[in-house]
Amino acid sequence: MGNTKTLPIEATGRVKELGHRVRVARTRRGLSIAEVAAKAGINRNTLNALELGKPGVALGAYITVLWALGLDKTLDGVAHPDADIHGKTLEASRRPARVRKSQKLKNEYDF
């Protein structure tokens, strides 16, 4: 038997929602699947799978389609380090409580 991997339910919902948002953006612009697929350089079936929220669509296809729709700048906030409150808290908790003065490096050529 093959080992099949499935996405967590939350991730599956996010992928479907993103696909739906792409479809809404495309239809609001009055563009067909064929037009956006051609501009993005992908197959129409790939774009259709993307809009249906299929989990096997490559991340590059999503980014290229968003670019073709003029929405690529909306990715600027995705996983931005400054917005990662949990990660920043963990990082701060690992900082040493005390910081020592740095040792002056001896210059071997100093007379």
What is the number of structural domains in the chain? Answer: 1
Output the pTM of the full model: 0.77
Rounded CA-CA distance 5/55 in Å is 11
Q: Which parts of the chain register pLDDT below 70?
A: 1-4, 104-111
Q: 57: domain range?
A: 9-93
- The verdict on residue 1 lying in a domain is no
Q: Give me the pLDDT at residue 85, please.
A: 95
CATH number at residue 51: 1.10.260.40
DSSP string, 29-76: TT--HHHHHHHHTS-HHHHHHHHHT-TTS-HHHHHHHHHHTT-GGGGG
107 falls within a domain: no
Identify whether 99 is part of a domain: no
Give me the pLDDT at residue 3, please: 54
Does 25 map to a domain?
yes
Residue 108: the pLDDT is: 67
pLDDT at 56: 95
As a whole number of angstroms, the distance between CA 95 and CA 107 comes to: 30
Residue 105 within any structural domain of the chain: no
Q: Is residue 101 part of a domain?
A: no
Q: Is residue 78 part of a domain?
A: yes
Residue 102 within a domain: no
Give pLDDT, residue 98.
77
What pLDDT, on a 0 to 100 scale, did the predictor assign at position 1?
47
Provide the pLDDT for residue 61. 98
